[in-house]
Structure 1
Amino acid sequence: MKLYINGRFMDKNEAAISPFDHGFLYGLGVFETFRIYNGHPFLLDDHLERLNASLRILDIEAEFTRDETVKILDALLAENSLTDAYIRFNISAGNGEIGLQTESYNEPNVIVFAKPMPPAGEMNEKQAVLLELRRNTPEGSARLKSHHYLNNVLAKREAGPAMDTEGVFLNDEGFLAEGIVSNLFWYRDGILFTPAVDTGILDGVTRRFVIELARTAGIEVREGFYKKEEAEAAGEIFLTNSIQEIVPVTSFSGKSFPGKSGEIVRSLFGRYEVLRETLWSRTQLDGGLAK
């Protein structure tokens, strides 16, 4: 596998950064993960919107446009002979002295990873388990997709290594939050529910897309503070993230759910898969069609 690092492509065994990078020393770095479908980086504009906003919060002097990012991605795909790929677009603060820095970072390290993915297929189901570990509060006013991942690592250890199991956090107040690497939705009585961003969750790109996808289909969506009993009483539950897309849940908290046979999840997934190879942003949605 070849990586993109600061304008160069190199083999993964040759890749290196300085131990003085503050992304390593202090966790000052952010990243986006997304999929490329048949050469198209799905929802790239939305990922860059969040990435650039996070860089401003961390005072890292970098900003990425669609055009320059597509050039990097196209070249990286060619270097790795890929058309369908998992992408991690990572920006760390760059080098500094040991000690906390108040000045802005003007020489960040830009590292882009690509892994092969099979062509997109059908939905994969998971079981969801409620975690004992609580979701930590964001380091700042909102949660960033940052290098601070210990809470997620500890949660994964609690949930176990099985790929078909996702742990679901409650926040410190006992409200449903999110999965270890996913956002959470459930459907009941014609309404789609999901925890509000104010519960402390990451505002996932796929989360926002699915909310718009549902609303353009005429489905009422409610974001709020909910106890686990409200999800347990749902007719369907599903998870979302940018790599696994929409993931139907077959069991949660000891109760069975319809998984991929659920009506709402099949409907949303059908609309999702039509748009994989064309959409740049959720803002292009208009009745489920790409402009």
Structure 2
Amino acid sequence: MSRTVYVNGEYLPEERATISIFDRGFLFADGVYEVTSVLDGKLIDFAGHAKRLERSLGELEISAPCSVDDLLEIHRRLVAENDITDGLVYLQITRGAADRDFAYPTDATPTLVLFTQSKPGLADSPAARTGIKVISIEDQRWGRRDIKTVQLLYPSMGKMMAKAAGADDAWMVEDGAVTEGTSNNAYIVKGNTIVTRQLGTEILHGITRAAVLRFAREAQMRVEERPFTIDEAKAADEAFITSASSFVMPVVEMDGAPIGTGKPGAVATRLREIYLEESRKAAV
């Protein structure tokens, strides 16, 4: 059965959905996106994603094609029409279609696309019980990683490097310190202290990151926001990642060496429990 998708004001079967070959998202990666998780048919952290979307659009001087309330309605309708219990809603906004020119067009109408992905058992991933393996790679992305743009080629390359090495993901390193994973924020734990890189242009300002750090502090866990090295990660008691689709995911191996006991640690396990419980309560 075909999915219903949303393209510029229309709800369409996916096989009928089209955009212009002149769309700047296709020609220049001139666009931004958000991915919102769905658990039990409800949206997780929607307000946070909407706020970050607004910031990303502002940084690229792209006009919002509709209001936040309209976006919420579109999300909800797609979840309902596609019968999504657990899954994801992907949203992308580009500057729109215009004749190819590096300069921003002055008369383009932004393109708005949304679609769903069904992920049964999203919150019950087996990987959360076993942990994932990561490798370290050089961070070769552009400098404005705080803007959630659709230019994801190097993270895709990093993911393939990890797969080729028999790992699940890659942590990127710049000037000797970890920035983040290919599609997630990175953390280590030493004692009762959680360490993760501070916000800046070097990393994405993760919505799940913000919630998890708030829950950690409420649980009386110590948090240090600073750069850390791969050697620190290898010597840590445990490590984990956060993202909208993986929530809190333990990391048990770095570059072939076990982290801590080589099994998911207590801090990551507890934070995952707290995050899922609190997010479900606040879901819309």
SS of residue in 2 equivalent to 1:250:
strand
Q: Can you list the C-alpha shifts for 1:6-65, whole angstroms capped at 9, x where unaligned?
A: 121111111111011111111110000121111221110110110011111111111655
The 5-angstrom pairing of residues 134-283 of structure 1 reads: 134-138=139-143, 140=144, 143-160=146-163, 165-171=168-174, 173-198=175-200, 200-257=202-259, 258=261, 261-279=264-282
Shift of 1:134: 2.4
User: Structure 2 counterpart of 1:209, which letter?
Assistant: A
For the Cα contact (< 8 Å) 2:238–2:265, is it kept in 1? yes
User: Structure 1 counterpart of 2:222, which letter?
Assistant: E
User: Structure 2 counterpart of 1:90, which letter?
Assistant: Q
Shift of 1:74: 1.8
Q: Can you list the C-alpha shifts for 1:168-218, whole angstroms capped at 9, x where unaligned?
A: 1101x1211111111111110211001223371112111111111111111
Which segment is superposed worse, 177-186 or 193-202? 193-202
Partner of 2:134: 128
Q: Can you list the C-alpha shifts for 1:98-130, whole angstroms capped at 9, x where unaligned?
A: 212345566211100101111322525211111
| Structure 2 alignment gaps of length 5 or more | none
TM-score, normalization by structure 2: 0.89
Partner of 1:286: none
Evaluate the alpha carbon distance shift between residue 52 and residue 198 of structure 1 in structure 2; reply closer, same or farther with a 3 A threshold.
Answer: closer
The 5-angstrom pairing of residues 89-108 of structure 1 reads: 89-102=91-104, 107-108=109-110
User: Structure 1 counterpart of 2:266, which letter?
Assistant: E
Q: CA RMSD in A?
A: 2.2
Percent identity between the two aligned chains: 27
Partner of 2:34: 32
The 5-angstrom pairing of residues 62-81 of structure 1 reads: 62=64, 65-81=67-83
* 2:21 equivalent to 1:15: no
User: Structure 2 counterpart of 1:127, which letter?
Assistant: K
SS of residue in 2 equivalent to 1:211:
helix
Q: Can you list the C-alpha shifts for 1:71-98, whole angstroms capped at 9, x where unaligned?
A: 1112112221223221111111111122
Out of 86, 97, 100, which is 1:84 matched to? 86
Q: Can you list the C-alpha shifts for 1:148-173, whole angstroms capped at 9, x where unaligned?
A: 112112212221269961111101x1
User: Structure 1 counterpart of 2:71, which letter?
Assistant: T
Which segment is superposed worse, 32-41 or 190-199? 190-199
Which segment is superposed worse, 32-41 or 248-257? 248-257
| Structure 1 alignment gaps of length 5 or more | 282-291
Evaluate the alpha carbon distance shift between residue 7 and residue 249 of structure 1 in structure 2; reply closer, same or farther with a 3 A threshold.
Answer: same
User: Structure 1 counterpart of 2:157, which letter?
Assistant: L
For the Cα contact (< 8 Å) 1:52–1:63, is it kept in 2? no
TM-score, normalization by structure 1: 0.87
The 5-angstrom pairing of residues 42-57 of structure 1 reads: 42-57=44-59
For the Cα contact (< 8 Å) 1:3–1:11, is it kept in 2? yes
For the Cα contact (< 8 Å) 2:135–2:167, is it kept in 1? no
For the Cα contact (< 8 Å) 2:234–2:258, is it kept in 1? no
CA distance in 1 between partners of 2:107 and 2:44 (Å)? 29
For the Cα contact (< 8 Å) 2:93–2:112, is it kept in 1? yes
